Structure 1
Amino acid sequence: MNSTLVMAPKKKSSRVSWARLDPDLLRIISKKLFDIFSFICFHAVCKRWRAATSISDPPSKFSCVIDWPKGKGKLDDTLRVYSINSHRTHTFHVPDARFYGPSDGHMLLFECDRSIEECQSFLNPLAWKERFVPLDVPVDNVDPISLGRNLIRNDEPSFFYKDDEHHFLCFWQSEKNDWTEIRVPFIQTVAFYDHKFFFAEWGHQNKRVGVIDETTGVLLSYLPPPTDDFYHRYLIATDGGLLAVEMKDGMSILPSLVNDLTKCQFEVFRLENYPQNSHWIKLSDFRDLMLFLDKQNGFSLKASDFGGFKGNCIYFITSGSKFPK
């Protein structure tokens, strides 16, 4: 009896080459990486993954918290960045510069150049863009601010500085390829919304919110504050409007000195009908929004854009840490 040996067909391997994923699929995956460090690792996997994404145009991301320890009489060269999304801390050593704070995707660095002259610059570490602060700006009086410009994908740096008895707001204008400098009253909070700067002026005589046009630098108008007690305050730009947040703890101390948040209360207002009939309405809740505050800055994110996070919440940092944008 003759028998015939029949060979079974070879099964195709079910293994998928991750390096050959379609570029459109890679872009979709990259948009889900809310941690900037994860996005950088994604971009560095291989040439195909790198070609599908742009390191200078990262997706919407959950912000990180920056902290840097102070040494004996000077700032340490260690920079710590904590990811709120992944709960991981990344440590960097910056021996040639001192870090002064973040501003809309840029980090303000102080260093000494070869001519031994003090200089400062805003560096975007992703796009590797650098904006040097004008030489006549006092080195020790610069305070970088985060304005939430990512709402319109315009992440240019801004800062305050004090010279003698005057205060100035400076911001970079790409159209002019130069800094614009505006003299302003003493203010502690500023927001960027609808191509305008909104700042809270709070002095012995004036309690109001000023509005400056970004393009012309002209002071457009003054608005009344949400309340007469709008002292520990924040202005925050959101997709749905401009918010004002008042922090109360019953002891009239500064936000930077708060230790027990259980004693604090927050009131949130939204600006309505600007500029025809401007007024503030108090919100009972802000639904899908998450508000993030440090001792002087604030910004907002939508909880629905980030899985696992809850809206209608305020997150407050009491230490010297700051939020990069």
Structure 2
Amino acid sequence: MAPKKQRTLRVSWEQLDPDLLRIISKKLCDMSSFVCFRCVCKRWRAATSRSDFPAQFPWVIDWPKGSGKLDDTFRFYSINSHKTHTFEVPDAHIYGPSDGRVLIYEWDRSDKECLSFLNPLTWTERFVPLEVPADNVHPIRLVCNLTQNDEPALFYKENEHNILCFWQSVTNKWAEVRVPCLKTVVFYDHKFFVTDNAIKYGRIRVIDVSTGAVLSYLPPPTDNFYHGYLIATDDALLAVEVIRSTAVMPYLLIDLEKCQFEVYRLENYPQNPQWTKLSEIGDLMLFLDQQNGFSLKASDFGGFKGNCIYFITAGKKWPKPGSEHVIARFDLESNKTERIPGPVWLGRRFFARQAAWFLPTLN
């Protein structure tokens, strides 16, 4: 007697369990894949939400030089998927990213100029009530990882001083603090740490976020910290310095292969603060661009190695040094720098606005 054929149980893809769909959605490493996943059918879309949006490895943002026209085109490059995403914001100037938002300068229906932070993925805006020349405004990145949702901040120049402007959740309004020669700002332990823009012997101001008062001053990790960054992690405040002998400026490296960094950690704060040089940073990945720095954990992203510093710089391209922007990674263990493949459109101009890191989010 011939054996009976077993019946194959067929299950429609659209009938997959919602919990399984949610697990699958969290494994998608690219934003476009997540959007396509939610577009399959109503059941798949209902099983997921914006909170299920997988953590994205930082993108690189670049935009065209003005040349008399509005800079209304965002171009993002994903190192993880090697994809380019393009967004346009008509009638707006782009002034750079601050985490998952971009600072833009535009005109409303009454032809009034206004500043706002825009999330280009969700098209949500937070307007900034400042009446200052747009050319003097610069966004500041304050978060130390993707899970935090800190409010945006910026600074603008006023004569020889800089004005640090940030949102105060306690008073529910924007606050301003005058700081001289601002170089880099980081938010850590509910305080602002502001580094002076001094060539030598600068100091770090510690500012209370609720009152704006200067609480104390910290010494920089080295005498030449003008070429450095402050970076907040979950449990420490780090300082990263570009070795002076290999750089003309922090964002212009003439010889990429000789690029090196030194990392310091703030110890015994606030009783007896001092900086300790680190030989390694473990699971951490540090990201640097022209003005800002932040940290992420490599274990949150499959296929990426910790103990590294990712940075965007202008590389060597004669006769115009600095005309080619480069994405690179410095390995603290091997003490070597390697170039990361990027798009052909990245930084094809001479000393125009610098490309920067962008943290895509749907929050």
TM-score over 0.5 for the alignment? yes
TM-score (norm. length: structure 2): 0.80
Q: Residues 104 and 155 of structure 1 are in contact (CA less than 8 Å); yes or no, is this contact kept in structure 2?
A: no
Counterpart residue identity of residue 92, structure 2: A
1:260 and 1:44 map into 2 onto residues whose CA distance is 46
Q: CA deviation at 1:226?
A: 0.6
2:139 and 2:201 map into 1 onto residues whose CA distance is 24
Matches within 5 A, 1:276-295: 276-295=271-290
> For 2:8, which of 8, 12, 29 is the aligned residue?
12
1:111 and 1:251 map into 2 onto residues whose CA distance is 39
Q: CA deviation at 1:37?
A: 3.4
Counterpart residue identity of residue 249, structure 2: L
Match status 1:229 vs 2:263: no
1:104 and 1:57 map into 2 onto residues whose CA distance is 18
2:291 and 2:76 map into 1 onto residues whose CA distance is 19
Change (3 A) 1:277 1:257: same
Change (3 A) 1:315 1:195: same
2:200 and 2:248 map into 1 onto residues whose CA distance is 21
Change (3 A) 1:296 1:278: same
Which residue in 1 is equivalent to 2:84?
A: 89
Q: CA deviation at 1:136?
A: 2.1
Structure with larger RCO (C-alpha < 8 A, sep 6+): 2
Counterpart residue identity of residue 262, structure 1: E
Q: CA deviation at 1:234?
A: 0.5
For structure 1, which segment, 47-56 or 208-217, has the greater mean C-alpha deviation from structure 2 after superposition? 47-56
Match status 1:322 vs 2:356: yes
Which residue in 1 is equivalent to 2:183?
A: 188
Q: CA RMSD in A?
A: 2.5
Deviations 1:201-229 (A, max 9, x none): 24378621111222333322111111112
2:195 and 2:301 map into 1 onto residues whose CA distance is 31
Q: CA deviation at 1:65?
A: 0.7
Q: CA deviation at 1:269?
A: 0.3
Which residue in 2 is equivalent to 1:74?
A: 69
Change (3 A) 1:96 1:222: same
TM-score (norm. length: structure 1): 0.88
SS of the counterpart of 2:225? coil
SS of the counterpart of 1:310? coil
Which residue in 2 is equivalent to 1:309?
A: 304
Q: CA deviation at 1:56?
A: 5.9
Change (3 A) 1:289 1:136: same
Change (3 A) 1:191 1:172: same
Instruction: State the identity %.
Output: 66
2:247 and 2:8 map into 1 onto residues whose CA distance is 72
Q: Residues 137 and 154 of structure 2 are in contact (CA less than 8 Å); yes or no, is this contact kept in structure 1?
A: yes
Counterpart residue identity of residue 48, structure 2: T
Deviations 1:29-80 (A, max 9, x none): 3333343333333333333333333326734321111000114233443321
Deviations 1:249-282 (A, max 9, x none): 4165212322322222211001112112211100
2:36 and 2:247 map into 1 onto residues whose CA distance is 45
Which residue in 2 is equivalent to 1:296?
A: 291
Match status 1:58 vs 2:53: yes
Q: Residues 102 and 118 of structure 2 are in contact (CA less than 8 Å); yes or no, is this contact kept in structure 1?
A: yes
Change (3 A) 1:35 1:145: farther
1:233 and 1:246 map into 2 onto residues whose CA distance is 4
Equivalent pairs counted in the alignment come to 320
Structure 1 unaligned spans of 5+: none
Structure 2 unaligned spans of 5+: 314-324, 326-353
> For 2:128, which of 120, 125, 133 is the aligned residue?
133
Q: Residues 243 and 261 of structure 2 are in contact (CA less than 8 Å); yes or no, is this contact kept in structure 1?
A: yes
Q: Residues 249 and 264 of structure 1 are in contact (CA less than 8 Å); yes or no, is this contact kept in structure 2?
A: no
SS of the counterpart of 2:264? strand
Counterpart residue identity of residue 137, structure 1: V
SS of the counterpart of 1:256? coil
Structure showing greater radius of gyration is: 1
2:89 and 2:142 map into 1 onto residues whose CA distance is 25
SS of the counterpart of 1:231? helix
2:81 and 2:278 map into 1 onto residues whose CA distance is 31
Matches within 5 A, 1:202-217: 202-203=197-198, 207-217=202-212
1:214 and 1:227 map into 2 onto residues whose CA distance is 26
